[in-house]
Structure 1
Amino acid sequence: MAPFGFGAPLFPGAPRARGKYAAGGRGFVEFGSPVPEIVEAWAAGLRRRELIDWGGVAFRIARVVPVDPPDFSEGVARMRTSTPVVMKGSGRDEGGERTTRQAWLLPTDVEFPAYFDQNLRRKLETLGLEAKVVLEGLTWVGAKRSFSVGKGLKPGAPVEAELRGDPEALQAIWSWGLGQANSAGFGWVSADSRAG
């Protein structure tokens, strides 16, 4: 598991057009990690650059602003993703027989909560945190979207999830993202304060 994630570049002032990605003018892109050394390396690398190439589009870097996660002192967090959450399931049918190795789950699938909780546990284990975070429920599910990453399509949907657990563990999850493939831009947790 790669402990970092990122969101899609956003351009709040760009004119909107149905069916097209709004781009142009000033914007921002968010990168994050629960590992401070990764955040420091990203920030230092970006500060040394004037431009970054994002899929063939040049972005001029105006500033780099680190943002701390919320404190989650109550042990409850509501996290909404700006990119689809992807999650693989068992690939087994009702009889327990494996039918596929690429069993992508949507948030409305029966297996989704169990695999989502398992992913949360694996993330915390990867970070060496013994604390626990559990999914209390999904409070919103966005439209299904599929993206080509490597070989094939990864389907998912943005979600708003209510999580309960240790504040430090919730901060780590907030900084990393929800679901799988965060290092490919999936499951990025958006926060207005990150836009600066």
Structure 2
Amino acid sequence: MFPKARRQRGVYASDGPGVIELGSPLPSVVEGWAAALREIPVIGWGATALFIDRVVAVEAPPFTSGRATFRTVTPVVMKSSGRDDSGTRVRRQAWCLPGEPEWDVYMQANLRRKAETLGLDPDVSLDEVRWVGPKRSFSVASASGPGGKKPGACVEVALSGAPETLSAIHSWGLGQANAAGMGWIGA
């Protein structure tokens, strides 16, 4: 995030002081990144040189009540079944947006799969979608070729579940393509 950068349509503006946040539900990964970044004075990010002034490791909130409200600062992307109302598959790769019929079901499954992957309590619930931002599409690259566009929207959701699971999701992000920066939860 570059708060003083002049906005440009269709691209992320990067100029002046900014903040880059990296997250992982695995503390050892965060510790490794922090240690490596403390030794690197500059990161080449495309045509932008990012000069590192400081590195701070931040703990995820504890969510002791078993409830959390998450608002993303990058769009959440989610694939759906690609089937129509009769159950016939009409698209191979179908992206769905918050508010569309399958989004809640697929988001719920994504949350549980993340918890199971980490060996945490998978009894996590998507209780409410409180806000949906405008649809945005991003071009992404792929190891096997040019990739494509991923549509999504920023959201605010209410979740409930085990505190450790909610903390891990906060550090991981919502939806799919989190490693590409999608579904990043703001502080």
Q: Tell me the TM-score range normalised by the shorter chain.
A: over 0.9
| Segments ≥4 residues shifted beyond 6 Å | none
1:74 maps onto 2:79 in alignment: no
The superposition leaves residues 35-91 of structure 1 with CA deviations (integer Å, 9 ceiling, x where unpaired) of 011101111111110000112211000000011111111111000111000000011
Please point out which of 5, 25, 32 is paired with 1:34: 25
For residues 17 and 50 of structure 1, the distance between their equivalents in structure 2, rounded to whole angstroms, comes to: 26
Give the aligned partner of residue 160 of structure 2: 164
Q: Give the TM-score, by structure 2 length.
A: 0.93
1:183 maps onto 2:179 in alignment: yes
1:62 maps onto 2:58 in alignment: no
Give the aligned partner of residue 118 of structure 2: 127
RMSD over aligned Cα atoms: 1.3
For residues 39 and 7 of structure 2, the distance between their equivalents in structure 1, rounded to whole angstroms, comes to: 34
Task: Judging by fraction of residues, say which structure has more strand.
Answer: 2
Give the aligned partner of residue 153 of structure 1: 149
AA aligned to 1:102 is Q
Give the aligned partner of residue 7 of structure 1: none
1:24 maps onto 2:21 in alignment: no
Percentage of pairs with the same residue = 57
Say if 2:14 and 2:48, in contact at 8 Å, map to a contact too. Answer: no
Structure 1 alignment gaps of length 5 or more = 1-9, 192-196
For residues 122 and 133 of structure 2, the distance between their equivalents in structure 1, rounded to whole angstroms, comes to: 29
Q: Larger deviation: 60-69 or 131-140?
A: 131-140
Q: What pairs with 1:69-148 in structure 2 (closer than 5 Å)?
A: 69-148=60-139
For residues 91 and 68 of structure 1, the distance between their equivalents in structure 2, rounded to whole angstroms, comes to: 38
